[in-house]
């Protein structure tokens, strides 16, 4: 079976550029990666590195002014070439999305019940059955009074409660894949634990795979089987045990900067929008940078079961 006929999400040479005054922002810069089915992949990196843009490109949810090229294969289809109608049919039922910003994702003038029912009715036209499923979904995300939540408008809920509602909507149609964009954003520790458990349960209930885009490294360690690390629109490292045994100089510096590892600040600053590089994008901040790193972009090298984009592993 060919890679593009499997349930994997296979991205080939994806490029996403945004035109801005004075230049172009390369949000995703020639990314080729496979997100395997049968496991949960975490996509991590600093703010602005292109994580969410890459995730949204899979579902064709980028704004019309984004310049997109490359291929995205899923179950024999090239989503990058799919029509708007085909992508709409795919969303929710095949690939569910848990977006990161409740204020932009929930309709402020519609009750939560109406919005959740709308998602559920994509696969079940029975109103009574949908309402029962809505109750169970909200309970699984820690709501003790689902009836009250279903009657509420988004403004009556806290940011954390809105985020949990988005999680429920994202998995409401039992999709094959789930793309979760910062699913624990704004939640306290107790509620984050509930989301960890719920997303773990989702995987065990027939979901082929999950892509979790997150800053929550505790979530990444607890939930994810594999980790991809993005920087400056590129994936620099991917594989298992990345956070425990980082190989790329950026990944090592990123992990070292965490509070539990001593809060060692990383030198320099990430690439600014519109920056142009002839070599490795991390070279200006890298303590192991050589002359070659400044003039040549490293390939993605195989190191055991890990992929690392660094000349140290050439």
Position of tokens 């994008």? 281
pLDDT > 90? residue 35: yes
Rounded to whole angstroms, the Cα distance separating 290 from 260 reads 30
- Given this model, what pLDDT does residue 4 score? 52
Query: What is the reported pTM?
Result: 0.89
Task: Work out the pLDDT band at 201, boundaries 50, 70, 90.
Answer: confident
Q: What is the average pLDDT across 176-188?
A: 86
pLDDT of residue 2 exceeding 60, the answer is no
The rounded distance, in Å, linking the Cα atoms of 181 and 164 is 12
Any idea of the CA torsion for 229, 231, 234, 237, to the nearest 10 degrees? -30
pLDDT value at residue 147: 95
Give the pLDDT score at 261. Answer: 79
**pLDDT 10s digits, 49-96:** 999 999 999 999 999 999 999 999 999 899 999 999 999 989 988 999
Cα distance between residue 309 and residue 154, in whole Å: 43
Is pLDDT larger for residue 203 or for residue 288?
Answer: 288
Q: φ and ψ at 259, to 5 degrees?
A: -55, -40
Confidence check: pLDDT of 189 > 60: yes
pLDDT per residue as tens digits for the range 99-150: 887 878 899 999 999 999 999 998 888 888 899 999 999 998 889 999 999 9
Q: Residue range 151-166: average pLDDT?
A: 90
Confidence label for 12 from pLDDT (cuts 50, 70 and 90): very high
């Amino acid at each position: 079976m060919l890679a593009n006929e499997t349930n994997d999400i296979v991205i080939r040479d994806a490029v996403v550029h945004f035109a801005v005054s004075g230049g172009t922002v390369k949000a995703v810069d020639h990314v080729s990666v496979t997100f395997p089915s049968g496991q949960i992949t975490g996509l991590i990196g600093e703010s602005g590195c292109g994580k969410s843009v890459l995730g949204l490109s899979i579902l064709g949810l980028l704004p019309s002014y984004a310049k997109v090229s490359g291929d995205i294969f899923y179950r024999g289809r090239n989503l990058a070439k799919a029509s708007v109608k085909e992508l709409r049919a795919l969303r929710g039922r095949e690939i569910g999305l848990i977006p990161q910003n409740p204020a932009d994702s929930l309709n402020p003038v519609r009750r939560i019940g109406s919005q959740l029912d709308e998602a559920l009715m994509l696969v079940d036209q029975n109103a009574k059955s949908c309402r029962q499923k809505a109750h169970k979904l909200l309970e699984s995300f820690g709501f003790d009074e689902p009836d009250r939540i279903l009657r509420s408008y988004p403004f009556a809920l806290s940011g954390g409660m809105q985020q949990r509602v988005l999680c429920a909507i994202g998995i409401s149609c039992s999709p094959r894949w789930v793309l979760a964009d910062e699913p624990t954003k704004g939640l306290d520790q107790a509620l984050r634990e509930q989301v960890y458990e719920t997303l773990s349960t989702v995987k065990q209930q027939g979901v082929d795979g999950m892509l979790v885009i997150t800053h929550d490294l505790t979530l990444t360690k607890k939930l994810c089987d594999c980790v991809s690390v993005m920087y400056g629109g590129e994936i620099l490292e991917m594989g298992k045990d990345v956070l425990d045994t980082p190989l790329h100089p950026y990944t090592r510096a990123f992990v070292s900067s965490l509070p539990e590892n001593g809060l060692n600040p990383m030198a320099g600053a990430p690439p600014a929008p519109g920056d142009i590089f002839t070599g490795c994008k991390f070279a200006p901040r890298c303590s192991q940078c050589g002359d070659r790193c400044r003039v040549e972009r490293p390939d993605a090298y195989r190191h055991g079961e890990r992929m690392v984009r660094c000349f140290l592993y050439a």
